[in-house]
Each structure stands twice: as C-alpha cells, then as structure tokens.
C-alpha cells in the first residue's frame, strides 16, 4: 500500500504542476486483475469522463443565462446554504459554529441527513423521510439542497467536499444568483487521479488513476467563486494549477474551554481518534503499538471512532497479540474526555487536510505524532510540539512514541507547546477570519 513520491495534477492545456501531494496507496496495474474488473473500470471510466464533459458543457451554457449574484447590502448579513456528508457532531460544530458566529453572517442553512446540533443562526434542513426511502439518503439530500437553493436564493451556496456536493453547489449558484463555495476539507486529493482517493462511492469505482477525469474536475474547481482550504499546501497546489478564485485557509474552530489539558494522571499512553476507514491506516497504528509494547511495558492504547473496518482491526489487534493493550471505544461525542485520559496523540492517515482531531488533541495538551501528509505540517512542528514521520511506517511511529514515553521532560515540553500552538485554531479566532472573508476584505492576516 505504498504510494508514489510525487504525482502530477493535469492542466487542461497539457501542462503539469508538480507538487508534494502523494497518492494514498498504490494501484494494481491492468495486467494483474481479472477481466471482470477491467471491464468495470472501462465502463466507469467512460461514464465519468462523459458525465464530467456534460457537466462542464452545462456550466459553460449557464454563463449566458445565469443570474447576477444577489447583492449584499451594507449592514445586511449573508445568507449561506451548505450541504455535506457528516459523521460527527463535533465535526459539524467545529465548521459551522465559527461561520455562524461571524458578524457578517445572518444565517446558515445546512441540508443534511446527519443530525445537526443546535447552533445559533444555523438552521438544519432534512430531506423528507419518504424521499429518503424512495431515492436513498444521498440523492434525497442533494435534491433537497437544490430545491432549497431555488426556494431561498441565498448569497452563497456551498458544499463540503468536491464530490459531489461541491459540483452541485457550483452548478446551482448561477441559477439562483448566488456565489459558489468549495469547502475543500480533504485537500487536493479530493480530485487527484480523478477522485479515486476521495472516499466517494461513484468516483471510487474508477479503481485507478484517470488523467482525463482529473483534468475535468480541476476545470470544475476553476468555476467556483470561493475556495476554503485547510492549509497552505493545498492553497499552493490550487494556485499553481491555475485556480484564480480567492482561496482562503480556514480550519475548523474548536472550543478551547471544552478541550483543555487533563488535571488527573492519564490512563492511556497513546490514542488515535478517527473514522475506521482505509485512509486512516489504523493498521499502521496497531503495528506501531505492537513494536512499542515489546520495548515498554505496560503500554496501553485507545482507538476512538467507528467505521466499517472495526471488526477487521479488532481481529488484527488479536493477531498481533495486543488485544489486551488496545481499547476500541467506538464513536464518542465527548471525545475530549478520552483525549484527556491519554499522553500522546497519533494519526497514521495516508491523507489529511488539517484534521480537527489533531487540533482537539493538541488543545488537550497532547503532543502529536503524525504522518507527514496533507496540511498536517501546518500545525505539527517537528521536534517541538510533536513529530512528523513517513506515512505507512509503523517502525517510525513506534520510535517516536518510545522517544516521548521514555523522556518525561520532553513530553512535558511538547505538551505545553502543543496547547499553545493549537490555540490559534480556537473558535473565536476562526470566526474572525470568516468575518473578514464575508466582508470581502483582502486576506493579509495570518493564516489560521
């Protein structure tokens, strides 16, 4: 499952932009797979190429008939409509609360099938139950999103992730006289190789990189009025790829009054928080724990999060002989309580934006040992508040875990630095950044 060291982001005119985004894993070449899989790849490659061609042609046609963006009058707040696939209340609150707190924001409507926690100025809209039964959750949500945009005509229409929420938002915006927002939470990997790493069920069926689909997705990104990314690395990639729209770096905003260092002695040495999916590479975490457990005893680990791989990962822990060392606790809404029970936070993902779980852990005073991927280096200062290691290398993670656990002075110093650096991502600071963006001011302030 090792990826390549660098990949190319195709540009419509044939040029390429080289950048440090890495493919999360290797893909088997055609000669090593069955005829049935090759035929499936061929079908979805043609389907998605044709679908993106039709989408881009429709976007071009809209330019001739689109409404002018609804003006935002002095003293008037912005009406914002968003949709996304959400997995936890913490994630939702971290992204919606700072936006809604901005003085320039009048209201945020969110179309979702996941329960939206109560947040001032945030209105949750859910697809009718009958529509979900007839169409399924995702089509029902997207149809409700489109209808709400046509009915309410907000100032901004946006989606979390490009596929397919962002694509629909970009299409709807000119129809309703709104500005389109692409909230890129996963970084350029959302369109890399045609979207096969984006955890989208449709585009994931490509199974292997497709430069044509990637190129067309990039052209679609160029149609947005505003891009929100999680780190400077993502902004640089999109700029070099010819995206001319304003690109702002805005992380989620965390409540520092809720996430704070523990007062009691921790009971876990290491903790991982994340969805139990392939991209999070929890298998690497477990193998690192196995290595450390051979050197340091006793050792205790905790995995917070739910997902399709839980049974497989629990079986792996048993095979590695560490089932008694690792506790799987599932999805937790009070994740701060679990973080405060640990000493070190570990994130072994193959790809990330600037993970909210990382910010939350560092606010709780946990040094972080992270894969050196995506936008994680924006917050983790190697050798000062945590460590960055090569992804997919259990031995590298294990070495850094042992280094901190065996040096209490270093662990304490890293802990203080982690808390201090993470305060830059507190909710009020992020809200001020949103207010600046909504006012249309030049972005000259420090990136948050």
pLDDT of residue 18: 35
Residue-level pLDDT, tens digit, the chain, 448 residues: 333 333 445 444 433 433 334 555 555 555 567 888 889 899 999 999 999 999 999 999 998 787 788 888 777 899 999 999 998 888 999 999 999 999 999 999 999 999 999 999 999 999 999 999 999 999 999 999 999 999 999 999 999 999 999 999 999 999 999 999 999 988 898 999 999 988 888 999 998 899 999 999 999 999 999 999 999 989 999 999 999 999 999 999 999 999 999 999 999 999 999 999 998 999 999 999 999 999 987 899 999 999 999 999 999 999 999 999 999 999 998 999 999 999 999 999 988 888 999 999 999 999 999 999 888 999 999 999 999 999 999 999 999 999 999 999 999 999 999 999 999 999 999 999 999 999 874 333 333 3
Q: DSSP letters of 122-133?
A: EEEE---HHHHH
Length of the chain: 448
CB proximity list for 51: less than 8 A, separation 6 or greater: none
Q: Please give the structure tokens belonging to residue 56.
A: 């881009």
Q: Of 35, 135, 99, 107, nearest to 435 (Cα)?
A: 99
Provide the pLDDT for residue 15. Answer: 37
Q: What was the pLDDT predicted at 407? A: 96
Residues 378, 354 contacting (CB under 8 angstroms): yes
- Using the 8-state DSSP alphabet, how is residue 439 labeled? T
For residue 262, the SS3 value is coil
| 3-class DSSP string for 311-354 | HHHHHHHHHCCCCCCEEEEECCCCHHHHHCCEEEEEECCCCCCC
Strands (E), 152-310: 156-160, 179-183, 226-229, 247-249, 268-273, 301-304
Phi-psi region at 128: left, alpha or beta (left = phi > 0; alpha = psi -120 to 50): beta
427 and 372 Cβ atoms separated by less than 8 Å: no
Q: What's the rounded Cα separation, in Å, for the pair 375 and 25?
A: 18
Pick the closest to residue 85 from 19, 16, 160, 184 (CA basis).
Answer: 160
Q: Rounded to whole angstroms, how far apart are CA atoms 428 and 63?
A: 37
What count of Cα atoms within 13 Å lies in the side-chain half-sphere of residue 208?
Answer: 16
Handedness of CA 323, 324, 325, 330 (dihedral sign): positive
The structural domains of the chain, ordered by start, are: 1-26+77-253+427-448 (3.40.50.2000), 268-425 (3.40.50.2000)
CA atoms within 13 A on the CB side of 322: 28
Contact predicate 398/288, CB 8 Å: yes
Question: Contact, 292 vs 268, CB < 8 A?
Answer: no
Burial letters 135-164, b for 16+ CB under 10 A, else e: eeebebbbbbbbebbeebbbbbbbbbbbbb
Residue 279 · residue 349 · CB < 8 Å: yes
- Per-residue model confidence (pLDDT) at position 199: 81
| Closest to 108 (Cα-Cα) out of 65, 79, 71 | 79
CB atoms within 10 A of CB 437: 20
Helix (H) or strand (E) holding 33: none
- Tell me how far apart the alpha carbons of residues 91 and 290 are, in angstroms, rounded to a whole number: 30
Please tell me what DSSP assigns to residue 393.
-
């Amino acid at each position: 499952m090792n990826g390549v060291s660098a990949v190319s982001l195709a540009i419509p005119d044939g040029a390429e932009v080289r950048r440090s985004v890495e493919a999360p894993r290797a893909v088997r070449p055609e000669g090593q797979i069955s005829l049935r899989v090759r035929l499936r790849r061929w079908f979805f490659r043609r389907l998605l190429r044709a679908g993106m061609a039709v989408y881009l042609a429709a976007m071009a046609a809209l330019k001739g008939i689109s409404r002018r963006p609804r003006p935002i009058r002095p003293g008037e707040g912005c009406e914002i409509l968003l949709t996304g696939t959400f997995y936890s209340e913490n994630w939702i609150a971290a992204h919606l609360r700072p936006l809604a707190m901005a003085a320039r924001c009048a209201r945020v409507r969110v179309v979702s099938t996941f329960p939206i926690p109560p947040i001032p100025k945030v209105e949750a809209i859910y697809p009718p139950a009958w529509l979900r039964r007839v169409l399924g959750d995702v089509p029902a949500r997207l149809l409700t999103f489109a209808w709400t945009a046509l009915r309410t005509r907000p100032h901004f229409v946006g989606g979390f992730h490009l596929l397919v929420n962002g694509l629909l938002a970009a299409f709807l915006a000119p129809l309703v006289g709104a500005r389109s927002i692409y909230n890129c939470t996963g970084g350029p990997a959302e369109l890399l190789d045609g979207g096969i790493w984006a955890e989208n069920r449709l585009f994931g069926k490509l199974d292997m990189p497709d430069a044509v689909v990637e190129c067309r997705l990039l052209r679609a990104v160029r149609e947005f009025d505003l891009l929100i990314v999680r780190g400077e690395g993502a902004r640089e990639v999109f700029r070099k790829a010819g995206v001319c729209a304003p690109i702002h770096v805005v992380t989620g905003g965390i409540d520092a009054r809720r996430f704070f260092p523990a007062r009691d002695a921790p009971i876990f040495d290491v903790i991982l928080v994340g969805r139990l999916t392939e991209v999070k590479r929890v298998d690497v975490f477990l193998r690192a724990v196995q290595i450390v457990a051979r050197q340091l005893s006793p050792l205790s680990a905790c995995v917070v999060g739910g997902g399709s791989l839980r049974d497989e990962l629990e079986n792996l822990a048993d095979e590695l002989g560490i089932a008694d060392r690792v506790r799987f606790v599932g999805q937790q809404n009070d994740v701060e309580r679990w973080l405060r029970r640990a000493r070190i936070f570990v994130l072994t993902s193959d790809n990330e934006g600037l993970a909210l779980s990382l910010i939350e852990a560092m606010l709780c005073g946990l040094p972080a040992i992270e894969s050196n991927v995506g936008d994680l280096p924006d917050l983790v200062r190697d050798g000062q508040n945590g460590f960055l290691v090569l992804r997919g290398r259990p031995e590298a993670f294990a070495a850094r875990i042992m280094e901190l656990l065996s040096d209490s002075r270093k662990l304490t110093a890293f802990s203080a630095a982690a808390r201090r650096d993470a305060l830059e991502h507190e909710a009020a600071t992020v809200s001020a950044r949103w207010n600046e963006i909504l006012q249309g001011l030049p972005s000259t302030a420090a990136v948050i």
